[in-house]
């Protein structure tokens, strides 16, 4: 019997709105129990600084250009995470903490994935064992550094007795999929980013209103589509360079093509654009992998709450593919990623692989995550 570990996953996604936290118990292999899930919203100053700096970091040289600003923001983000750990009142002195940090730049071609989060400082502030910088080792071994959640998706499908093959669709800032063909014991996984998730919609709403996102897709639902702009954007996307990328940055997409539209019309046009990409990429990816045998597409992440977006994705899907919320399996779809990084922390601590050739494109299965403790 394998030893169980308690682990806290701290995940701040590409939406940059706050930190999802999950405490799990797991042996890092074939079992997990969820102890607690909780969300902590960033204060408005950190939220604004994250999105301000992300808009400035457009190329590798910008990381050096804004080095001091990044260090300052990293310290604020790390202290925010330390306060979360304190608030959670962790009684287990041996708990592992999987600290993802806040992604501000990801470019797989340059082998760079920059997350703001000082693991050493967090360890000093919390007196806990911290596992962080999860993507570095994968990049070193030829991978794209993302997606990293597939091995956890496989565990969820196995433990919840979900019929396989099954597809997990995560709609965060970026939309990505994992196809789990077989249960634990097999590395028969396929995964990749498939396009924008919430990033275009959120960016539009932030820049054109006092809101952070389009709740339930309410704005899009009352807007009008600009068909000419939508068709032009779709054509540009279809003819993009480097279609083989497995991972995206939110800065790979921009809202400039919607400039001049009203708040509602822009939200509708951008949502329809996003849904068309997700629907088409799902249909293409799953048809290549015997979609007629695939049982379900399980949707997780914040985008699953945008009812207009979900309905539009359904319209763009092949008729034989069905979307289903992962919540129907009594799993809170808001916390899959934070649970995943709690699980990845355990696997990193045990030196077990967290990324695979069929998920990130790395040369061989490899572990990841740097470990620091006082």
- What is the residue extent of each domain of the chain? 5-148+335-372, 161-329
Edge-to-edge strands, sheet with 174-180: 189-196, 174-180, 166-171, 297-300, 323-325
Runs of H (alpha helix) within the chain = 44-56, 60-65, 67-88, 119-126, 136-140, 150-159, 199-208, 218-222, 227-238, 263-287, 307-316, 336-349
Confidence (pTM): 0.95
**pLDDT under 70: residue ranges of the chain:** 1, 288-292, 295
Write down the pLDDT at residue 319: 80
161-329 classified as CATH 3.30.420.40: yes
Give the CATH fold of the 5-148+335-372 domain: Nucleotidyltransferase; domain 5 (3.30.420)
Write down the pLDDT at residue 291: 47
Question: What tokens were used for 244?
Answer: 């083989």
Write down the pLDDT at residue 240: 83
DSSP letter assigned to residue 23: E
Cβ burial 228-266 (10 Å sphere, 16+ → b, else e): ebbeebeeebeeeeeeebbbbbbbbbebebbeebebbbb
Per DSSP, the residues of 291-348 read GGG---EEEESGGGG-HHHHHHHHHHS-TT--EEEGGGGT--TTSHHHHHHHHHHHHH
Write down the pLDDT at residue 238: 85
In the block, tokens 């539209």 appear at: 261
Write down the pLDDT at residue 12: 95
DSSP letter assigned to residue 118: -
Rounded CA gap, 286 and 318, in Å?
Answer: 10
Rounded CA gap, 174 and 292, in Å?
Answer: 26
Rounded CA gap, 270 and 288, in Å?
Answer: 27
Question: What tokens were used for 325?
Answer: 């919320």
Q: Are 5-148+335-372 and 161-329 in the same CATH fold? A: yes
Rounded CA gap, 59 and 101, in Å?
Answer: 20
Residues paired with 198 in a beta bridge: none
């Amino acid at each position: 019997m394998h030893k169980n570990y308690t682990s806290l996953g701290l995940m701040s996604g590409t939406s940059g709105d706050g930190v999802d936290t999950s405490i799990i118990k797991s042996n890092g292999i074939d079992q997990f129990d969820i102890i607690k899930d909780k969300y902590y919203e960033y204060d408005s100053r950190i939220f604004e600084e994250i999105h301000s700096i992300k808009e400035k970091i457009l190329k590798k040289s910008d990381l050096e250009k804004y080095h001091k600003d990044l260090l300052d923001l990293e310290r604020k983000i790390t202290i925010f995470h330390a306060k979360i750990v304190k608030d959670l009142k962790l009684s287990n002195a041996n708990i592992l903490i999987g600290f993802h940090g806040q992604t501000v730049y990801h470019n797989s071609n340059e082998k760079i994935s920059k997350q703001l989060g000082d693991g050493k400082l967090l360890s000093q502030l919390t007196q806990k064992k911290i596992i962080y910088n999860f993507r570095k080792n994968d990049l070193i071994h030829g991978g794209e550094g993302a997606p990293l959640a597939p091995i956890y998706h496989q565990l969820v499908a196995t433990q919840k007795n979900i019929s396989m093959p099954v597809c997990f669709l995560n709609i965060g800032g970026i939309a990505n999929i994992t196809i789990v063909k077989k249960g634990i014991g097999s590395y028969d996984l396929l995964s990749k980013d498939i396009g924008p998730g919430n990033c275009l919609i959120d960016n539009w709403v932030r820049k054109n209103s006092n809101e952070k996102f389009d709740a339930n897709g309410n704005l899009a639902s009352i807007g009008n589509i600009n068909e000419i702009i939508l068709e032009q954007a779709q054509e540009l996307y279809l003819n993009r360079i480097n279609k083989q990328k497995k991972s995206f940055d939110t800065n790979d997409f921009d809202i400039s093509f919607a400039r001049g539209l009203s708040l509602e019309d822009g939200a509708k046009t951008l949502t329809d654009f996003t849904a068309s990409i997700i629907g088409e990429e799902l249909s293409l990816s799953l048809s290549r992998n015997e979609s007629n045998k695939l049982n379900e597409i399980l949707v997780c992440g914040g985008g699953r709450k945008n009812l207009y977006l979900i309905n539009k994705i359904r319209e763009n899907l092949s008729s034989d593919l069905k979307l289903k919320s992962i919540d129907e399996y009594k799993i809170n779809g808001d916390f899959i990623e934070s649970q995943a990084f709690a699980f990845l922390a355990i696997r990193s601590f045990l030196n077990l692989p967290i990324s695979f050739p069929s998920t990130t494109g790395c040369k061989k299965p490899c572990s990841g995550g740097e470990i620091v403790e006082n």
